[in-house]
Structure 1
C-alpha cells in the first residue's frame, strides 16, 4: 500500500492501479485491507476524470463495508461528486443501518 500511496502523491495513477492490483493479489487472506484499496482506487479514478467509475467504486465500498471508516469517506466523496455535477442527486448512496 505504501508504494500505491507514494505513486498517488506523485500523481501517477497508472502506477497506483498496478500497485493496488498487486496488493489485491497479496492480501486475499487479509480482507480488511480491501476497503482501503478500493478507496484509493476511487480517488485515482476521480483524478483521471472517470467519475462514473469512481462513484461505482465508492458505492461498492458503502455496500460491502457499510460500517467502515472508508464507507463514511466514500459517502463524502459521492456528496462532493454530486455537488460538482459529476454524480446525479438521485444516485446518492443510501445509508442502511444494520443491527450489531
Structure 2
C-alpha cells in the first residue's frame, strides 16, 4: 500500500510540474511580447506547444500570440495564415473571434485581401 501511495504522489507531482512548466512558458511568452522580443516569444511558444500536445485546448491561445508576433515582425502573410488556422480549427473559441478581428484590422491596413489567395499559382518546371 505504501508503494502505491508513493507511486501515486510521484505521478501526481510530475503531472503538476508539467502543467506549471507549460504555464511558465506561456507567461514568459506574454512578457517577452510586451518587451517586443519576438524571437524569445517564438521560443517560449514552441516549448509550450511541445508540453501541451495532449491538451489541445491551449493551441488557439498559442497560435494567436504567434500571429501577433508575426505581425509585429512584418510577416503579414504568415500572420494571416495563422489566424485562418485558428478560425478553421477552433471556430467557437474566443481566439477565433480575436483572430477574425486581427484579420479585419490587417484588411483595413491593406495587408490582407480576402478575395485573393495568399499564395500565387505554383510555377511548374518546363519539360524538354
Q: Same fold (TM over 0.5)?
A: yes
Which residue of 2 is the match for residue 33 of structure 1?
58
Q: Does 1:65 align with 2:99?
A: no
Q: Which has the higher contact order (CA 8 A, sep 6+)?
A: 1
Q: CA deviation at 1:28?
A: 0.8
- Segments of 5+ residues of structure 1 without an aligned counterpart are 92-100
Q: Which runs of 4+ in 1 moved over 6 A?
A: none
Distance 1:89 1:23 in 2: 31
Number of aligned residue pairs: give it: 91
1:23-78 superposed Cα distances (whole Å, 9 cap, x missing partner): 00011111100000000000000000000000000000000000000000000000
**For 1:85-96, what aligned pairs fall within 5 Å after superposition?**
85-90=110-115
Q: TM-score, length-normalised on structure 2?
A: 0.70
Matches within 5 A, 1:14-53: 14-53=39-78
Structure 2 segments unaligned to the other structure (5+ residues)? 1-25, 117-128
Equivalents in 2 of 1:72, 1:27: separation in Å? 22
Give the whole-Å Cα distance in 1 for the aligned partners of 2:53 and 2:113: 33
Return the index of the structure with the highest Cα Rg: 2
Q: TM-score, normalised by structure 1?
A: 0.89
Residue 118 of structure 2 is aligned to residue 81 of structure 1: no
How far off is 1:89 after superposition? 3.8
